[in-house]
Amino acid sequence: MAKRLVFDNNRDGFEGLRAFAADLQARYLLPEVIYGVEPTASYHKPLAEFLIGNGDHVVYVSNVAVSRNRQMLDGRWDKNDKKDAPTSPIS
């Protein structure tokens, strides 16, 4: 699995994300892909609109849920974007 996921907030980055997700879906024989985005400021809007426009499933995850998930996983209370999303770079 991926430890860190980095992609540009533009069409090329979004297409790379979709390709990465499709690869994981095929590799692990997953029935569907659901993207979870944290609606913070307006950063999520271009990605969500792109994914929805391509017929992908998108759910919004509250920052409270993200915080509680982080606490449950490893007991951290600090806020850090690099720590919030266990991910991997898209090439």
How far out from the chain centre does Cα 9 lie? 12
Structure token pair of residue 77: 């209370």
CA distance 8 to 14: 7
Q: Can you give the pLDDT at residue 4?
A: 82
Q: How confident is the model at residue 24 (pLDDT cuts 50, 70, 90)?
A: very high
Asked whether residue 90 carries a pLDDT value surpassing 70, the answer given is no
Q: What CA–CA distance (Å, rounded) separates 90 from 57?
A: 20
| pLDDT tens digits, 54-72 | 999 999 999 888 888 878 8
Task: State the average pLDDT over residues 68-89.
Answer: 64
Model-level pTM?
A: 0.74
Tokens at 62, concatenated = 């509250």
Choose among 65, 81, 62: nearest CA to 6. 81
Torsions phi, psi of 3, nearest 5?
A: -95, -30
pLDDT at res. 69: 80
